[in-house]
């Protein structure tokens, strides 16, 4: 076998590997697109379902805000600080966290550390803010990013 033939065969092998990888990526993207249209994410969708009783609005309250936060997430701490500014007695504000000691308590907002409730509401991303109606049904879910207008997000009934 000559050197030229060996290099050509090696190039053919690399090209074949690249083609297989490209087909695999294409198949995965198509599967993700199909899942998105049917609402599948690997996690059960929470919108339209009743929230766990631990985070539902109390009697007499018209709505609830639940923030699913992670102590190791810088944006989660910003969301928690902004939640402290929600001043509406008719809205129950709860932050569902993994470690309560990592968050400074705020007046009017509750910290809840409950792995079962966390598992029920976590959709694979933090911070996530859920709006609940008076009955405790999740009516809106927003995955918060750094550009989010937090005060607008915390207005009950605001579009995402």
Range of the domain at 5: 1-40
Same-domain pairing of 28 and 72? no
What share of the chain in percent tops pLDDT 90? 46
Higher pLDDT residue, 148 or 86?
Answer: 148
Predicted local distance difference test score (pLDDT) of residue 55: 95
Candidates 131, 121, 128, 159; CA nearest to 142 is: 128
Looking up residue 87, the CATH number of its domain turns out to be 3.40.30.10
pLDDT surpassing 70 at residue 92: yes
Assess whether 73 and 124 both reside in one domain. Answer: yes
Instruction: Report the predicted TM-score, pTM, of the whole model to 2 decimal places.
Output: 0.70
Q: How many domains does one find in the chain? A: 2
For residue 42, name the pLDDT band (cuts at 50, 70, 90). Answer: low
Query: Of 157, 160, 138, 139, whose CA–CA distance to 149 is shortest?
Result: 160
Q: Backbone dihedral region of 104: left (phi > 0), alpha (psi from -120 to 50 degrees) or beta?
A: beta
SS3 40: coil
Would 125 be classed as within a structural domain?
yes
* Residue 158 falls inside a structural domain: no
Question: Is 58 in the same domain as 109?
Answer: yes
The answer as to whether 123 is a domain residue is: yes
Asked whether the CA dihedral 45, 49, 55, 61 is positive or negative, the reply is positive
Asked if residue 69 has pLDDT above 50, the reply is yes
For 46-59, the pLDDT digits (tens) are 888 999 999 999 99
Phi, psi of 150 (to 5 degrees): -60, -45
What number is the average pLDDT over the span 98-106?
88
């Amino acid at each position: 076998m000559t050197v030229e033939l060996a290099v050509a065969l090696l190039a053919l092998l690399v090209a074949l590997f690249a083609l297989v990888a490209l087909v695999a990526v294409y198949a995965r993207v198509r599967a993700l697109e199909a899942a998105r249209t049917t609402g599948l994410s690997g996690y059960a969708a929470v919108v339209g379902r009743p929230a766990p009783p631990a985070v539902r609005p109390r009697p007499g309250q018209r709505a609830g805000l639940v923030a699913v936060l992670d102590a190791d997430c810088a944006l989660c701490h910003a969301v928690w600080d902004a939640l402290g500014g929600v001043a509406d007695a008719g809205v129950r504000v709860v932050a569902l966290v993994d470690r309560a000691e990592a968050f400074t308590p705020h007046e009017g907002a509750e910290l809840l550390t409950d792995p079962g409730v966390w598992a029920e509401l976590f959709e694979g991303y933090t911070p996530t803010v859920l709006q609940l109606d008076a009955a405790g049904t999740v009516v809106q879910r927003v995955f918060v990013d750094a550009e989010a207008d937090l005060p607008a997000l915390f207005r009950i009934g605001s579009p995402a």
